[in-house]
Chains A and B, each alone.
Chain A
């Protein structure tokens, strides 16, 4: 035990909040004091719960027409978000919240601007772990699963510089890639197309369901194919990290298990508390050394789990 609080409710200052494009926004937050210390220990894949219950709606014309009805409801519960980037400085820790506007809470986040404060509960849960001896890290992103993987990419680049990293990024269409830039008609090859990863020297392989950017198909098909093409490659020196929709996590887990590759998946559940008291975020997991399964808590035992642990329904 340290004398510092490892987690808590901290007030973060918004230093910027802007739309990247479409429904995607990015917000920079600054923690000072005890909060700065708590977030200095943030692990990629951990998350926070933000309170937007005191925020109003943006003007109607700024709300996407298909959301105008749904967002009108009041907010009671906090909402879980990961961080896409965390930077530790002398007296402050900054964090980037990359978010998609899709409902009443996320639309309210867009009303924050520089100087506002946001109540942030965290850091919560267990993030990604980097086991020793890994020479190759394969990052698998499905749509809005990007933020924790971006955060991990930075860690891999800064602290595991000897590890070769490739990002496999999938989305429904070019428009639903949650990054700044124009991706329509992007070529199929693996290259530094996605700035969020390219800035760490990481090349990306992009797939879209409709072929509007990168290769047509699912990101997991692309990953499987890539693995099948490799020569002189040692599964035990490889690790796969994935975050995205559950069917994508299930497919990633399956291909990792089949090929005997270590794999960690970042899962999502609806959460009321984020701190392990409400039991709302149950996730079915295998019990080690038996055929049984048991629920564990996404917020506390996860959100990152070993791929062999989680029972995905197919």
Chain B
């Protein structure tokens, strides 16, 4: 009898994330990889550790007027305004494609009221194609809902508990905003209300001004800053939430914000993230996530890391 072929990369890189077995710790971030089908020509999405969809709302959303983005020195601002196809079309058109994927898929859920979040989650909780939900309580670009939920610990607890009930046995991850006084207070509220995992960070509210016209560069006036500019702050916040909340509670963190390379990803893991997500970097290199997975494998080989999970929170 032949012995089974073991892919050495797979055993070193695989991680346990809130009860899910991931082949590696690299996700794509919400809003930067659409609904996966768009990426088919550029990357084998089945090599990812996990996939996170664009935010889904109960009804379709057209989003904000343009310009919706502007580049900054080491990042970009976006004010997309949660443009998405809405729950019904997501189920009819996107879900069948997602069901073909072999990696765990999280649906990012957004809304204006708690009922909206609950409605989307309830409708999708029975779908076998979906591994879990990422609760977006941190979008800076919408007039109602979004970040306003994510700033007040009581509201965070309320919405997390309500969605927890609707999510059934699916994994519930809550996505935190960096635009708060003490992120650990918000993290604790989400964990106590039943979050299985936390993701951080969403974008920073920011502004770019066109000095020729003396107007904001974005139609929405403000937008969310992402990209390399935010990375050191994101690493700090991951480390803070890890030390203050996640480590004791045994809750995994998904770290994101400005990751472009495997080294960036490893920084997040040393700071306490069990997995990472790649956002803005995918725009210039659509296969960034896969390149980062390979880079992490190289790092493990170089440093004789037996299991990538051993790195998590191992900051000296």
Q: Which A residues are closer than 8 A to B by beta carbons?
A: 5-9, 51, 53, 73-78, 121, 269-273, 275-283, 294-295
Task: Specify which of A269, A271, A277 lies most central, judged by the most chain B CB atoms within 10 Å of its CB.
Answer: A277
Residue pair A272, B69 in contact (C-beta under 8 Å): yes
A9 vs B282: C-alpha distance when bound (angstroms):
12
B80 contact from A9, A269, A279, Cβ within 8 A = A279
Residue pair A6, B32 in contact (C-beta under 8 Å): no
B70 to chain A: which residues have CB within 8 Å?
Answer: 270
Residue pair B66, A277 in contact (C-beta under 8 Å): no
Residue pair A275, B76 in contact (C-beta under 8 Å): no
| Top 9 A-B pairs, shortest CB-CB distance | A277-B34, A280-B69, A279-B83, A273-B283, A280-B68, A279-B80, A276-B38, A272-B283, A73-B73
Residue pair B78, A278 in contact (C-beta under 8 Å): yes
Residue pair B73, A5 in contact (C-beta under 8 Å): no
Residue pair A77, B76 in contact (C-beta under 8 Å): yes
A283 vs B66: C-alpha distance when bound (angstroms):
8
| Contacts A8-B41, A276-B38 given; does A76 touch B66 at CB 8 Å | no
Residue pair B83, A295 in contact (C-beta under 8 Å): yes
Least CB separation from B34: chain A residue: A277
A269 to chain B: which residues have CB within 8 Å?
Answer: 66-67
| Contacts A77-B76, A270-B70 given; does A278 touch B42 at CB 8 Å | no
B232 adjacent to chain A (CB < 8 Å):
no
Residue pair A276, B76 in contact (C-beta under 8 Å): no
A75 vs B227: C-alpha distance when bound (angstroms):
11
Q: How far is the CB of A2 from chain B (nearest CB, A)?
A: 12
Q: What are 16 A-B contacts with C-beta separation under 8 Å?
A: A51-B285, A73-B71, A73-B72, A76-B76, A76-B227, A77-B284, A271-B69, A272-B78, A272-B280, A273-B282, A275-B286, A277-B39, A279-B63, A280-B78, A294-B62, A295-B63
A8 to chain B: which residues have CB within 8 Å?
Answer: 41-42
B244 to chain A: which residues have CB within 8 Å?
Answer: none
B75 adjacent to chain A (CB < 8 Å):
yes
Contact with A along B29-54 (1 / 0, CB 8 A): 00111100011011000000000001
B194 to chain A: which residues have CB within 8 Å?
Answer: none
A5 contact from B41, B74, B283, Cβ within 8 A = B41
A278 vs B80: C-alpha distance when bound (angstroms):
8
A121 to chain B: which residues have CB within 8 Å?
Answer: 286
Contact with A along B67-100 (1 / 0, CB 8 A): 1111111111010100110000000000000000
Residue pair B284, A277 in contact (C-beta under 8 Å): no
A78 vs B282: C-alpha distance when bound (angstroms):
11
B227 to chain A: which residues have CB within 8 Å?
Answer: 76
A75 vs B73: C-alpha distance when bound (angstroms):
7
